[in-house]
């Protein structure tokens, strides 16, 4: 997973602000991160 955008979103998932984590999780799916989509389905 070398995509810099996805790395940015993954780092933000550890942010103490819940809104930052929420937006990062949604954005992962929007940029085509298939791991983000499959983890929501399971």
- Please state, in angstroms and rounded to a whole number, the distance separating the CA atoms of residues 38 and 18: 21
> Would you list the domain boundaries of the chain?
4-41
The reported pLDDT for the residue numbered 8 is 87
- Please state, in angstroms and rounded to a whole number, the distance separating the CA atoms of residues 41 and 16: 25
Q: Going along the chain, which residue ranges are E strands?
A: none
Report yes or no on whether pTM surpasses 0.85.
no
The reported pLDDT for the residue numbered 2 is 64
The reported pLDDT for the residue numbered 19 is 94
pLDDT < 70: residue spans in the chain: 1-2, 33-42
The reported pLDDT for the residue numbered 26 is 86
Tell me if 32 sits within 8 A of 24, measured CB to CB.
no
The reported pLDDT for the residue numbered 37 is 52
């Amino acid at each position: 997973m070398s995509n810099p955008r996805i790395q940015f979103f993954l780092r933000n998932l550890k942010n103490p602000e819940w809104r930052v984590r929420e937006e990062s999780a949604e954005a992962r799916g929007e940029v085509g991160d298939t791991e983000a989509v499959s983890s929501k389905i399971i």
